[in-house]
Amino acid sequence: MSNNQMLDDVDHATCKVTISICLPNSKLPRVVVVGGGFGGLALVEGLKNKDVQVILIDRNNFHQFQPLFYQVATSALEPDSIVFPFRKQISGYKNVSFRLAEVQEVQPSINTIVTDKGTLTYDYLVMATGTATNFFGMENVERNSLGMKDIRDSLNIRHMMLQNLEQAAITCDDEERDGLTNFVIVGGGPAGVEMAGALAEFCKFILPKDYPEYPSSIMNIYLVEANIQLLATMSDKASKNTLNYLKKLGVEVLLNESVSDYNGKIVRTKSGKKLLARNLIWTAGVKGDFPKGIDQKHVVKGNRLKTDAYLKVEGQKDIYAIGDIAALISEETPKGHPQVAQAAIQQGKYLARALLNIINKKTARPFKYKDKGSLATVGKRRAVADLGRLKFAGFTAWLLWSIVHLMSISGFRNRLMVGFNWAVSYFSYEKSNRVIIRNFKVDKDKKKSLVRPLNPMPTNINTDS
């Protein structure tokens, strides 16, 4: 019976029946790509209409443009501006199929993956699953704060922020109001810096118009970074410029400082500081996110999969890793390649060529990463750029950042929507998406954030009282 047909397999040892995921019949080698991030999509693009069957699997049915999550969180963009359906992306790719499923286990001995929808066999498996937020074992922080690794996280942050600002306008308790209007961002990398800058501009230009009940000075923004400087992977010049920009925007930057605990109201640091805040956004670390089945001896620091120079996972047959999950350890890259979009895209493009060479019995060359530079923005007209020996900041860097990110978004319509929103914001600082359409709550028992629809007004309220 063909591997590509739907069938019921009986595991006689456990008496369980597993259902195979239905796929188009094909005699071509099957490449299964788990994860539709930057690396996964670059790989699929490189294999389109080639003599291979490509199966893209993702827990979502859309690609997310992560560099702009912070703009969704601060009401500058709507989520549909930076997500793009996979099926629309692969429309016209004759040899590519998409299946909505979450991979739970890899079974390398029989070239099979187990998902929540059924099993799937492969000839070549590519792990492009990316990362999850790393709270470094601090359960209270994980339970009471929000990360920013998913579009849903961005919406959670938006609704949390708006609901707390509305509650601050209601309460007469000064201490409660302070907590509701204070924001702590943990992590001074690009995500943390950009989030802090966007929040500072919201505080400066939106808060006075929307909430005349209290001055914008009531909203304090703290950026906590464990390193001695911001943007540790960029140049000293970029770090210093970023620090100056944030200070001018009113952000209080705490360097060489780290969070030790957070109970939902008070942030405690290792040096003994206490920050009153109901809003904590965690951008301080990530860890590899992949299903079970890979031998732990091939997992390195950061929960990343160790690969050889051809991006094959060490000790595994026909299993490859690309993007944030992959760690190519060498003398040149002792910590692996940077966990950024450009590295993932280059690895995806490389592996597409390498797999075709392997299938056709040709020699593949080792992967070489070309660093094209780094960019980070700190609000409107302010950004920093490291492009090789060329390092600059200000409006030119911001303009370059805008062009690069706009052209990297999937879909013409999405680029048009983002470009229009940016144009409006450039001249007016206006953010038109300040609506609360879902009720944000934290489920402290399940240790995860939940977003629920707003409850309708109860019908049994006695209005005569």
Map 254-305 to HEC letters.
ECCCCEEEECCCEEEECCCCEEECCEEEECCCEEECCCECCCHHHEECCCEE
299, 320: one domain: yes
Average pLDDT over residues 219-235: 95
Average pLDDT over residues 348-360: 96
Residue 185 covered by a domain: yes
291, 328: one domain: yes
Q: For the domain that residue 222 is a member of, what is the CATH number?
A: 3.50.50.100
Residue 163 covered by a domain: yes
pLDDT of residue 321: 97
Q: Answer yes or no: are the C-beta atoms of 220 and 181 closer than 8 Å.
A: yes
pLDDT of residue 214: 82
Residue 183 covered by a domain: yes
- Per-residue model confidence as pLDDT tens digits over 252-308: 999 999 999 999 999 999 999 999 999 999 999 899 999 999 989 999 999 999 999
- Per-residue model confidence as pLDDT tens digits over 398-430: 999 999 999 999 888 888 888 888 887 777 766
pLDDT of residue 19: 85
Residue 276 covered by a domain: yes
pLDDT band at 460 (very low <50, low <70, confident <90, very high): very low
pLDDT of residue 410: 86
User: How many other C-beta atoms can be found within 10 angstroms of the C-beta atom of residue 282?
Assistant: 28
280, 291: one domain: no
218: which 2 tokens?
């009531």
Q: Is 98 helix (H, G, I), strand (E, B) or coil?
A: strand
pLDDT of residue 417: 86
Is residue 192 predicted with pLDDT exceeding 50? yes
d(CA 335, CA 127): 19
Residue 280 covered by a domain: yes
171, 263: one domain: yes
250, 232: one domain: yes
Q: Is 334 helix (H, G, I), strand (E, B) or coil?
A: coil
190, 143: one domain: yes
What is the residue range of 339's domain? 8-59+101-133+287-359
Is residue 463 predicted with pLDDT exceeding 50? no
Is residue 163 predicted with pLDDT exceeding 80? yes
Residue 37 covered by a domain: yes
d(CA 223, CA 235): 19
Mean pLDDT of the chain: 89
pLDDT of residue 445: 53
210, 268: one domain: yes
264, 296: one domain: no
Is residue 205 predicted with pLDDT exceeding 50? yes
241, 327: one domain: no
Is residue 8 predicted with pLDDT exceeding 50? no
Is residue 325 predicted with pLDDT exceeding 70? yes
229, 262: one domain: yes
pLDDT of residue 429: 67
**Out of 24-38, 197-211, 447-461, least confident range:** 447-461
- Per-residue model confidence as pLDDT tens digits over 112-150: 999 999 999 999 999 999 999 999 999 999 999 999 999
280, 415: one domain: yes
Lookup result for tokens 């977003």: 451
Q: For the domain that residue 305 is a member of, what is the CATH number?
A: 3.50.50.60
pLDDT of residue 442: 63
Residue 249 covered by a domain: yes
Higher-scoring residue by pLDDT: 441, 11? 441
d(CA 353, CA 130): 21
pLDDT band at 459 (very low <50, low <70, confident <90, very high): very low
Number of domains, the chain:
2
279, 385: one domain: yes
Query: Mind giving me the DSSP string for 387-413?
Result: ETTEEEESHHHHHHHHHHHHHHSSSHH
Given 359, 381, 416, the domain boundary residue is 359
Residue 264 covered by a domain: yes
Higher-scoring residue by pLDDT: 210, 326? 326
Rounded to two decimals, the pTM is: 0.88
Is residue 453 predicted with pLDDT exceeding 60? no
Q: Which residues of 65-79 are buried (b: 16+ CB within 10 A; e: fewer)?
A: bbbbbbbbbbbbbbb
- Per-residue model confidence as pLDDT tens digits over 73-88: 998 899 999 999 999 9
Is residue 212 predicted with pLDDT exceeding 90? no
pLDDT band at 209 (very low <50, low <70, confident <90, very high): confident
